[in-house]
Structure 1
Amino acid sequence: MCGIAGLYYPNIAKPVDPARVAQMSDAQAHRGPDGSGVWTAPGVGLGHRRLSIIDLGGGAQPMLTPDQQIAVTYNGEIYNFQEVRAELERLGAQFLTHSDTEVLLHGWRAWGPDMLARLNGMFAFALYDAKSKSLFLARDRFGVKPLHYAQLSDGAVAFASELKGILAHPSFRRVPDFRAVEDYLGLGYVPDDASIVAGVKKLPAGHFMLIERGKPVPQPVQWWDIDFSQRATGKPKDLQAELVEHLRAAVTSRMISDVPLGAFLSGGVDSSAVVAMMAEASRSAVKTCTIGFDVADHDETSHAQLIADRFATEHRARKVAADDFALIDTLVDAFDEPFADASALPTYRVCELARENVTVALSGDGADEAFAGYRRYKFFAAEERMRGLLPGGLRSGVFGTLGKYFPKADWAPRPFRAKTTLLALAEGGEYAYPKAVGVTGPELRHRLYTRKALKALAGHNAEQRYTDTMRLAPARDGLDRAQYADIKHYLPGDILTKVDRTSMAVSLEAREPLLDYRLVEFAATLPPSMRIRSGQGKWLMKKALEPWLPRDILYRPKMGFVTPISAWFRTALADEAAALARSKVLADTGWFDAATIQALAADHRSGRAEHGRTLWQLLMLERSLTRLFG
């Protein structure tokens, strides 16, 4: 795994200072502590920081073809590079290394942008073609690996794995973007097509850009999409067998490494399934690790130990404090942008633990989005069935009126929040689901904003991105559309960002076998009844894994990395919450109403209301703005 950076002048072949590219690259040194490189030519400069995984001696970057006509800087792993290499050799390509990087050089020469469809992996790369004087930027299907870009005042296009790489360029002017703040407060993260810094964008997952000299910088082009509109017709037993074969292939392909490799093990279905397949394929004990908490309600170490014992893994567990908020500033540095998923704290700790013994770790991320594992899918599917019983106008009138006057109970479990459920039923699914998956709702956000902020938004709202995606989804029903939108937004914006930044902060490569595109494309064809049945999400996946995993693991309630942030803001962080109303950096933006923030903190501290997640968002926003602009 690596960090990439560079500059490209689309209008003129202006000389590029290697020291400037090195400065951008070195700002991401944590992503690649094993080596660095810079290559420049008229109008272009590529930088690289290397974490050595494959071909330790021969995979240095930037890498060039022998004739110096094609150069690439690349972050990621191509899991099927040996098959692609064999195909290229049949076409006459001659390889000088055993690295997957070289496949990109020869693949570009043979197929151009069409080579992306042949690649199975996680990647973000920049490739310069001297013959066409063009720069090609590409990102993998799901957005496992990040890629930021911006156009500078002198016309250069700057790119980097992380925002800090672009910000290291001295001519880039930092200005906050309030529309991204709206997105962040609504969703809990700054999504892929936005940035907290105005003028910076992220190349969306499954997209590329071909920037040619003498032409305007184009919009990204989508090269891959997931299709939920098709349906598998096989018997459940046959589909279970097919699922296991996809899972086995996905895991074994991600075990190729020239450095020590292991796995995260939480004791949940997904990471346990990965460890089961690793144990089947490995000749030696799989190295596993888990993080536990000093509060029993949040601790899963006993479940992880059960799986470790079953597969005789070389297991390490470590207990950390549930109130591990001392990591806040570390996370602010790692993420650059505000990021409100508090499970980043234990994720960082498990990456830290893994890095003590391995350089590569397999994770269980992705199955919830692909196989409908989140509880919210079950509730949404039930709401969709109820919506189908009444015409839209009648539904809006009946449920909307009841919801308007029903008392609010945000503190209650989701099934008992009648006001929330009634209001959701009154709306179409493409309007209700974005609010269900969000963090701070539209009404509370508008209370937080000043008139200046509302004017700056000019009607922009965080939920619209989800609504538009669900409307246009290649899908048959509401569950399809919800999963599709999560794969497009929540997965790259939250889950994969969290794992990438926390793992790279400690120079660890994390691999996600459950996001093998063939496995996810298979999951998208499953009828809804094979994704959710009898209140169980991931139904077919769990049935398929019954020969491998105990029922206590397969069918116990989902826990995940839970952090008690609400309790923090009534105890250890209560004063921090109150201080947000007096924050200079928030006040200087002119965007937030201090009295509203003060009231939120006071009401939460007293127990009159539940605002823990919003207060956490505001705290992380305040810290991020201070770091970036303070």
Structure 2
Amino acid sequence: MCGIVGLFHPLDPAVPDHVTLRRMATALRHRGPDGDGFHAEPHLGLGHRRLAIVDLAGGAQPMSTPDGQVTVCFNGEIYNHALLRRDLEAAGHRFRTRSDTETLLHGWREWGTGLLDRLAGMFAFALWDVGRGELLLARDRLGEKPLHHAVLPDGTVAFASELQGLLVLPGLSRKLDPQAIDDYLALGYVPDPATIFAAVRRLPAAHFLLLRRGEEAVPSPRPYWHPPRRASLPATGAAELLAAGLDRAVRAQMMSDVPLGALLSGGVDSASVVAFAARARAEEGGGALDTFTIGFEGEADERPMAARVAGLFGARHRSEGGTADYLSAARDVARVFGEPFGDHSAVPSLAVCALARRHVTVALSGDGGDELLGGYRRHRWHALAEAVRAQIPAPLRRSVLGGLARAYPKLDRAPRWLRAKHTLTEISLDSALGYYNTVCKLHAARRRGLLSASLRAAVDGHDPADRFVALMRDCDPDDPLLAAGYVDLHTYLPGDILVKTDRASMAASLELRPPMLDHRFVEQALALPSAAKLKGGQGKHVLRQAMRQHLPPDLLAGGKRGFAAPIADPLRARIATVRARLTGAAMQDSGLFDVAALARLAEEHGSGRFDHGQALWQLLVFEGFLAEAAGVPDAAAVADPVPA
């Protein structure tokens, strides 16, 4: 795992400044503590920070072909590089290293952008072909590895793995994107291709950008892969198919020349990965697998089940517990992520990655299973709501159920069965808006009420729900579970889950690999019919069936539990400090919020009558982001809104 940076000017043949490249790379030192490397020539400069995983001696970057015509700067792992190497050698290519990086150089010469279709792995890379005058920026299919880019005022295209690598550039505007702020408050993250900064964009997952010498205009990113949009596999034999696919993915992702372990929770996804990894390790005679768990006292404590699973497979298990100081963590999250990030499970994620890094350099994880196999409660509810919608005409739903929803009180502290407002609201809405309603953290009236008048005007007409509507329009309308998973693969997974795992692991200089996001496994899982995924009101049915011979029945029967301690009560216990931060200098000076409304939000939460824990957490992280940005020119200013 590594960090990459670069500067490219399509018209100016000057060699980019080495000091600037080094400054950009140094900002990403945590992504690659094992060394750095640089390459500069007319039009182009590349910088690299290396976390050595494969071919420790021969894999240094940037790496060039012997004739110096093609150079690559790469972050990630290509799990099928040995197979690609055989094909390329048969075609006459000669390799000098064992590194998967070199596969990109020869693969580009042999297949051009067709190389991307052949790669199995997680990656973000920049590849320069001086003869063609082309610079290829590419990102993996699911968005496991990040790549940010911006056009500077002088026409230079700058790019980096993380925002921190770009923010050292004095010519980069720090003005905030007003629509990104609105999206963040609605979803808890800034969705691709936006970032919190108006001048910086993220290359979307499964896209590439091809820049050419002599062409001033930066083209739009182009997709090279789409996940399945309709179920095409039978339910018969689905468990065996899924088990074989996961076993293959786990074995492929265990390639490493450094110590490798696995993160282990009390859930079926990470336990399934550990089961196959432990079996593969035993077959290779590699000794016990290292596993790692973080837990909190109470309902979120998964340590007992994790220890049981580890013992079942003879793993060398390490776990830690404790309490989370969310007020301090809000500042830490803002610093590590480089922009506001509202998923508070980032806090235990940072802790478990730090624990794992003390013992291994690479760790497998169970991320992705919920999105693919209907593992979230909202997936099951969406399928049920769609069945209800099909029985009630849309006008009746909107008028009658919508009216009841508006009249029903908001009972945050009541038992779940009394909180019918959300249920009525979702069913009254059409499919895509109903699903958006289940993932939205702060609905329009609430979040707009927290904004200053100027920011409200800047986001007028913007609706974060629009992307959900567009995505669901692409899917089979008769398969609500597939539609929900398809939406998650384009929103929540790359915007929240994979941002969290990448930044948390890289903050500890740990490489994290999720076998369930092997694109071949994704294609299999998403294409299974809903009947294979959802049964008896429980998701991931097919995975539970696939793992019957490997995991304990009570673990397989268990439901989804969040990887974080509840946040409402800890914030309520320190509500005076919460209020002070939200009404302090950083928020007031930004001019982005109605500070009096923020104070009321804190007071309502402190009273115990309302649960605003999630909203307060997101605002605390935003305050931490503004505090981190203090003294940076334009950090609190917003750019002009993007035209609709």
Q: Establish whether TM, by shorter chain, passes 0.5.
A: yes
Q: Distance in 1 between matches of 2:61 and 2:480?
A: 45
Partner of 2:634: none
Q: CA deviation at 1:318?
A: 1.0
Return closer, same or farther for 1:360/1:325 CA change in 2, 3 Å cut-off.
farther
Asked whether the 8 Å contact 1:580–1:618 carries over to 2, the reply is no
Cα separation, 2, equivalents of 1:179 and 1:457 = 6
What is the distance in 2 between the residues matched to 1:65 and 1:421? 59
Instruction: State the alpha-carbon separation in 1 of the partners of residues 132 and 100 from structure 2.
Output: 24
Cα offsets for 1:336-383 (capped at 9, x unmatched): 010011001111110011001100000000000011101111111110
Secondary structure of the corresponding residue to residue 296 of structure 1: coil
1:404 aligns with 2:406: yes
Q: Deviations over 1:256-278 (max 9, x none)?
A: 10000000011210110000001
Question: Offset of 1:402 from its aligned partner?
Answer: 1.3
Is the alpha carbon distance of 1:207 and 1:474 closer, same or farther for their aligned partners in structure 2, counting shifts above 3 Å? farther
Offset, 1:446: 1.5
Question: Is the deviation greater in 341-350 or in 5-14?
Answer: 5-14
Q: Does 2:628 match 1:616? A: no
Q: Does the 8 Å CA contact 1:124/1:137 hold for their aligned counterparts? A: yes
Deviation string, structure 1 residues 605-626 (Cα, Å, up to 9, x no partner): 0112111100111000011122
Q: Supply the distance in 2 between the matched residues of 1:325 and 1:617 (Cα, whole angstroms).
A: 11
Question: In structure 2, what is the Cα distance between the partners aligned to 1:346 and 1:551?
Answer: 27
Q: What is the CA deviation profile of residues 198-255 of structure 1, one whole-angstrom value per residue up to 9, with x for unaligned ones?
A: 21000000000001122210000011110131321251xx221111110100000011
Equivalent positions of 1:194-593 (< 5 A) are: 194-215=194-215, 216-235=217-236, 238-282=237-281, 283=285, 284-293=287-296, 295-323=297-325, 325-412=327-414, 416-473=418-475, 476-572=478-574, 574-593=575-594
Secondary structure, aligned partner of 2:375: coil
Please tell me the residue identity of whatever aligns with 1:342.
H
What amino acid maps onto 1:603 in structure 2?
E
The question of 1:36 aligning with 2:36 is answered yes
Q: 1:408 to 1:53 in 2, by over 3 A?
A: same
Instruction: Name the SS for the 2:498 alignment partner.
Output: helix
Instruction: Note closer, same or farther for the CA distance 1:302–1:325 as it changes in structure 2 (3 Å cut).
Output: farther
Partner Cα separation in structure 2 for residue 413 and residue 150 of structure 1 = 48
How far 1:422 sits from its partner (Å)? 0.8
Distance across 1 between alignment mates of 2:415 and 2:4: 44
Cα deviation code 1:461-487 (max 9, x no counterpart): 222222222223366422222111110
Identity %: 47
- Listed as ranges, the gaps of 5+ residues in structure 2 are 632-644
Is 1:67 the counterpart of 2:67 in the alignment? yes
User: What residue number does 2:639 align with?
Assistant: none
Task: Tell whether 2:147 aligns with 1:128.
Answer: no
Residue 2 of structure 1: how far off its partner (Å): 0.1
One-letter amino acid of the structure 2 residue matched with residue 12 of structure 1: D
Mapped to 2, the partners of 1:134 and 1:475 lie a distance apart of 41
Q: Output the CA distance in 2 between the equivalents of 1:138 and 1:425.
A: 40
Q: 2:173 touches 2:199 (CA, 8 Å); kept in 1? A: no
**d(CA) in 2 for partners of 1:326, 1:401:** 42
> Take 1:213 and 1:40, find their aligned partners in 2: how far apart are those partners?
15
Q: Distance in 2 between matches of 1:503 and 1:310?
A: 26
Match of 2:17 in 1: 17
C-alpha separation between the residues in 1 aligned to 2:572 and 2:402? Answer: 34
Q: Give the AA of the match of 1:609.
A: F
Change (3 A) 1:538 1:185: same
Shift of 1:15: 2.2
Q: Is the 8 A contact 1:580 1:598 kept in 2?
A: no
Q: Which residue matches 1:161? A: 161
> What SS does the corresponding residue of 1:297 show, helix, strand or coil?
coil
Q: CA contact under 8 A between 2:583 and 2:598: conserved in structure 1?
A: no
Distance 1:433 1:307 in 2: 34
**Which structure 2 residues correspond to residues 97-176 of structure 1 after superposition, within 5 A?**
97-176=97-176
**Counterpart in 2 of 1:628?**
629
Segment drifting more, 201-210 vs 387-396: 387-396
For 1:49, what is the secondary structure of its paired residue? strand
Moved more, 75-84 or 578-587: 578-587
- Distance, in Å, in 1 between the alignment partners of 2:502 and 2:422 is 34
**Contact 1:344/1:498 (CA < 8 Å) preserved in 2?**
yes
Deviations 1:59-118 (A, max 9, x none): 000000001000010000000000011111111110000000000000000011111110
Equivalent in the alignment of 1:92? 92
Number of equivalent positions: 626
SS at match of 1:600: helix
Worse-superposed segment, 121-130 or 280-289: 280-289
Local SS of the residue matching 1:158: strand
Q: Which amino acid aligns with 2:259?
A: P
Q: Quote the residue 2:638 is aligned against.
A: none
Counterpart secondary structure, 2:67: coil
SS in 1 for 2:491: helix
The Cα shift of 1:582 comes to: 2.2
Give the residue type in structure 1 aligned to 2:584.
S
User: Match for 1:612: what amino acid?
Assistant: G
| Cα deviation, residue 321, structure 1 | 1.5
- Counterparts of 2:572 and 2:418 in 1: how far apart (Å)? 24
1:597 is paired with a residue whose SS is helix
CA distances 1:475-530 after superposition (whole Å, capped 9, x unpaired): 64222221111100100110000010010001000001011111110111111111
Partner of 1:604: 605
Residues 109-152 of structure 1 show CA distances to partners (whole Å, capped at 9, x for unaligned) of: 00111111100000000011101111100000000000000000
> For the residues of structure 2 that align with 1:219 and 1:556, how far apart are their CA atoms?
45
User: Contact between 2:329 and 2:347, CA under 8 Å: does it hold in 1?
Assistant: yes
What amino acid is aligned across from residue 63 of structure 1 in structure 2? M
For the 8 Å contact 1:227–1:475, the answer to whether it is kept is: no
What is the rounded CA distance, in whole Å, between the counterparts of 1:476 and 1:44 in structure 2? 49
Amino acid aligned to 2:254 = M
Provide the TM-score with structure 2 as the length reference: 0.95
**Secondary structure of 2:629's match?**
helix
Q: Which runs of 5+ in 1 are unaligned?
A: none
- The one-letter code sitting in structure 2 at the alignment partner of 1:285 is A
**Structure 1 residues 503 and 42, CA, compared in 2 at 3 Å: closer, same or farther?**
same
Q: Is the deviation greater in 399-408 or in 99-108?
A: 399-408
Give the deviation of 1:439 after TM superposition.
1.0
Where 1:170 maps in the other structure, the secondary structure is coil
